[in-house]
Amino acid sequence: MRIKQADIAALISGALNIPFPTNSVGRFPAAMWENKSFAYNSLLANFRQIHEIMNQKKSLVAKGILPFSPFADEVEVHRLVEASRRLAQTHEFNNAV
């Protein structure tokens, strides 16, 4: 498995179970963990942080401070997150990740 440079901070933070660095946009490499519950929870925390960064940027766009191109299908992103959350609640972490 290849790890991108941008993902190193997310990897280390997840492995140490510490918060992801502020403004980190790297993706937690969930596929490399056998404990899928841990991988799911780390990936979800990583997603939430990136989503918050996106929302902050949207706020700056609304104020006219920053140009921004929104994700083409944000509704689909929310649908996928909810489906993943339901799978995790039933301990289907392999499918949730």
Task: Give tens-digit pLDDT for 76-94.
Answer: 888 888 998 899 899 888 8
User: Is the pLDDT assigned to residue 1 strictly greater than 80?
Assistant: no
Helix (H, G, I), strand (E, B) or coil at 23: coil
Give 10-24 pLDDT, tens digit per residue: 888 888 888 888 777
Q: Which domain holds residue 28?
A: 5-96
Over residues 1-14, mean pLDDT:
85
Write down the pLDDT at residue 86. 92
Tokens of 61: 């766009």
Neighbours of 44 (CB within 10 A): 18
Specify the pTM: 0.60
* Lookup: tokens for 10: 């997310």
Q: For residue 16, give both structure tokens.
A: 């140490």
Contacts (Cβ under 8 Å, ≥6 apart) of 81: 44, 47
* pLDDT tens-digit series, residues 15-73: 888 888 877 778 888 888 888 898 888 888 888 888 888 888 888 888 988 876 666 77
Measured CA to CA, the distance from residue 19 to residue 33 in angstroms comes to 18
Give residue 83's pLDDT. Answer: 92
Q: How many domains does the chain have?
A: 1
